[in-house]
Amino acid sequence: MLTVVASGKAAPGVSTSAWALALCWPRPLLLADCDHAGGDLAPGLLAGRVSVDRGLLSWSAAARRGLPATAAAKLFAEHAVQVPEHPQVSLIPGFTTATQGASFTSETWERLALALRASTTAIGRDVVVDAGRLVTDRGCWPVLRAADQVLLAVRPSVRSVHAAQDAVRRVRQELGDLASVAALVVGNGPYSASEVVKALQLPLAGVLPYDPSAAAALSDGAVSSMKTLRRSALMRAASSLAGELAGSAEASSLAEAVAG
C-alpha cells in the first residue's frame, strides 16, 4: 500500500504531516523521502541521531537496471535507517541537495516507483512517501502514478489554496485524472476544510490541527518527551487519519483484486 503526501508551493507542512502519519500508521511502515529538491525528514525529527549515508542514492546504485521490482524492494531493508523509539517505522533518507535530486533520471524514478509499490508483499511494509512540492515537471511523478492514494497538503488560506490549485492541474496532467487524489487540510486559516475542498474540487482526506509544539518536534527534532508528543492534538488526529487511510486503501485494493 503506497501513500504519497505532496503539495503545491507555500510550505503547507508535507514533511510534518508525513512524519505524523508514519508514526501513527497501524502496520509496519517504510517512510521514503522523495523530495527531489532536497528532503527534510532525516534532519527534521531525527536531527542527527541516525546516519544518512544510506538512502535513495545508495539504493539506486544497488538496485541496478533490470532488477525485478520485488528484488529491488527487498534492498530497501539495507538502505533504510531504523527510527528510534518506533521500531515499526523505517526511513529511506532522501537527497540533501537539489543537485543530488537532479541525478535521478525518469528511468530511476520508474524503478523506484515499482519497488515502492512492491514493498508490501516483498518486505511486509506499507509505504508513505514525502514527495515535496509539485511545482515542476521533474521529480517523482512515477511514484505518484503508482500510488494507491495521493494526499495534497494545503493550508486553509488564499495563498496556499492558490498553490494547491496549480498542483491539482499538474497532477491531473501527469496522472490523467484525480481518482486517487484527496486534500489534506493542515492547520488554521480563515476558511473551513469544506470551503478548501470545494475550491480544489477534491474529496477531503482529513484535517490535521494547528499544533506548533508537536509540529516543531516532527520538523525540527524538538522532542521533549515521546509520551507528550503522542498525546498532542496533532498526533491524536494523525492516528485517527492513519487508521482511516490504511483501512480505506486496503479495502480498495481488495475490491480491485476481487474484480480482477
The predicted-structure confidence for 116-156, as pLDDT tens digits, reads as follows: 999 999 999 999 999 999 988 888 999 999 999 999 999 99
- Kind of pairing, strands 29-33 and 89-92? parallel
- Quick: pLDDT tens for 206-223: 999 999 999 988 888 766
Whether pLDDT at 255 is above 50: no
Rg (CA), the chain: 17
Instruction: Please state the domain count of the chain.
Output: 1
| Alpha carbons 248 and 97: distance in angstroms, whole number | 35
Q: Residue 146, Cα to own-chain centre: how many angstroms?
A: 13
| Alpha carbons 202 and 90: distance in angstroms, whole number | 30
C-beta of residue 114 within 8 angstroms of C-beta of residue 18: no
- Quick: pLDDT tens for 74-107: 999 999 998 888 889 999 999 988 899 899 999 9
- Domain span at 236: 2-259
CATH number reported for the structural domain that contains residue 164 in this entry: 3.40.50.300
Closest to 118 measured CA to CA, from 33, 2, 254: 2
pLDDT for 40 equals 82
Cell of 146: 503508482
* Average pLDDT of the segment spanning 33-60: 83
Percent of the chain with pLDDT over 70: 92
C-beta of residue 239 within 8 angstroms of C-beta of residue 206: no
Give the amino acid at 49: R
Distances (CA, A) of 252 to 8, 32, 44, 248: 26, 22, 32, 6
pLDDT for 49 equals 66
Please name the residue that has the C-alpha cell 509544539.
213
